[in-house]
Amino acid sequence: MVAEAPTYPYRPTVSFELMPPRRPDAAPRFWETARRLVAARPDFVSVTYGAGGGDRDTARDVVSRLLAGTPVLPIAHLTCVGASRENVSEVVDEFLEAGVRSFLALRGDPPQDQPDWRPPAGGVHSAVELVHLLREVEARRCAADPAAAVRGAARPLTIAVATFPDGNVQAGTTRTQEVHRLLEKQQAGASFAITQFFYEADSYTDFVAEARTAGVTIPILAGLLPTTEPRRLRRVEELTGVQAPQHLLDALDARPDPEAQYAYGTAYGTELAQRVLDAGAPGLHVYTFNKYRPALDLLEGVHLGGRTTTPDDAAPDVRDLAGRPWVPSIPTPAPAVP
Ligand SMILES: Cc1cc2nc3c(=O)[nH]c(=O)nc-3n(C[C@H](O)[C@H](O)[C@H](O)COP(=O)(O)OP(=O)(O)OC[C@H]3O[C@@H](n4cnc5c(N)ncnc54)[C@H](O)[C@@H]3O)c2cc1C
């Protein structure tokens, strides 16, 4: 655990990933998590998007509500694999129409239960193609509507991309191939990158060093997974191929007391976060899996906010997050007194 407050030469960014609730009955809990994370005043919150687009409406609704009801900048994930060009263009158009200006452009994973699956001909096959398509749809809207052109000039699109410090296990790519892929994403117009999570600081620092040598100049934000639950670490390995170190799993398994396990995992995550910040990471992006406590405790460990600095009831700007019929059980917070 970090003992003394480090002094950063700059204020690192803090951001969180949220996953839209899968069912209406999960919504109240989701919005409570969002409320507590927004209260920590992150630089942005990113909202995931299912590869098949099955949660298209929920994802757009969550992003729109964050945009309209909170002071936080939402970034909408977009995936393209398996969808037609028309379909992806339509989704982009809907997000732009809702006022969203920040995106994380992703390819998305193929369906896991279909080993022989092949992307459809004429689709959008990669994040690079999606970055181009986002700009094309925006250009089309601006050409058709002079007011949209002014608004677009005043608030240009921000397009982030994913990158994989240890290679993308599922795609079978190496670190060096992902460095070249990131360079292509930058050339296509990506503004910054967020890494897949990793367990050793060297994964991040070596990747960034190789990327800089190759000509990547955009910021590369360190993606971190709170390491408090061994079950979660095993599950994400199934989903992403990123393996947790055996010594970490053993140490967590050796602590049957949940609080002792939590404390060990938080200390591990905090040390990792501190190392990448010390090495010059511009900020931390926390994969929350819709749990606020591990994310905020991780940030508290590196003195970038957290539960102590942001008490549970400190959400003065969060209004109307749950003000729609499908999340009726959350009382709407009273408006802040000016
Ligand atoms: C920060 C971050 C956020 C993410 N958010 C989401 C999300 O919201 N929704 C979601 O569905 N996924 C999400 N993912 C997962 C991501 O979509 C997959 O890891 C995807 O496989 C790679 O995405 P990319 O944009 O880097 O792909 P690209 O860089 O476009 O992939 C390049 C090439 O690699 C190959 N390739 C890539 N992935 C695969 C694969 N899985 N299998 C076979 N070949 C492959 C293809 O040849 C492809 O053309 C996220 C990942 C990260 C790091």
Whether residue 226 is predicted with pLDDT greater than 80 in this model: the reply is yes
Q: Is the CB of 108 under 6 A from ligand 1?
A: yes
Share of the chain above pLDDT 70, in %: 89
Is 136 considered catalytic here?
A: no
pLDDT at 329 (0 to 100): 36
Q: Is the CB of 107 under 6 A from ligand 1?
A: yes
Angle between helices 146-154 and 127-144 (to 10 degrees): 130
pLDDT digits (tens, 9 = 90+) for 164-181: 999 999 899 999 999 999
Does 40 or 109 have the greater pLDDT score? 40
pLDDT at 324 (0 to 100): 44
The atom of ligand 1 lying closest to the CA of 105 is 25
Q: Is the CB of 133 under 6 A from ligand 1?
A: no
Ligand 1 centroid vs 109 CA: distance in angstroms?
A: 6
Angle between helices 175-188 and 201-214 (to 10 degrees): 50
Q: Is the CB of 56 under 6 A from ligand 1?
A: no
Nearest CA to ligand 1 atom 8: 48
Whether residue 334 is predicted with pLDDT greater than 90 in this model: the reply is no
pLDDT at 187 (0 to 100): 97
Q: Is the CB of 226 under 6 A from ligand 1?
A: no
Nearest CA to ligand 1 atom 20: 108
Nearest CA to ligand 1 atom 15: 108
For the record, the structure tokens of 137 come out as 């749809």
pLDDT at 315 (0 to 100): 52
**DSSP structure string for 111-168:** PTT-TT--PPTTB--SHHHHHHHHHHHHHHHHHH-HHHHHHHHHS--EEEEEE-TT--
Q: What average pLDDT score do residues 321-333 get?
A: 42
Secondary structure of residue 324 in the 3-state scheme: coil
Q: Are 224 and 284 in contact (CB under 8 A)?
A: yes
CA 43 to chain centre: 12
Which among 4, 17, 136, 237 is annotated as catalytic?
A: 17
Does 10 or 297 have the greater pLDDT score? 297
**Sequence spans of domains, the chain:** 13-323
Q: Is the CB of 181 under 6 A from ligand 1?
A: yes
Whether residue 327 is predicted with pLDDT greater than 50 in this model: the reply is no
Q: Are 298 and 226 in contact (CB under 8 A)?
A: yes
Say which CATH class 13-323 falls into. Answer: alpha beta
Q: Sign of dihedral through CA atoms 94, 100, 101, 106?
A: negative
pLDDT digits (tens, 9 = 90+) for 185-207: 999 999 999 999 999 999 999 99
Ligand 1 centroid vs 179 CA: distance in angstroms?
A: 14
Q: How confident is the model at residue 14 (pLDDT cuts 50, 70, 90)?
A: very high
Q: Is the pTM of this model over 0.85?
A: yes
- What is each CA distance from 208 to 60, 175, 176, 183, 241, in whole angstroms? 32, 10, 11, 12, 21
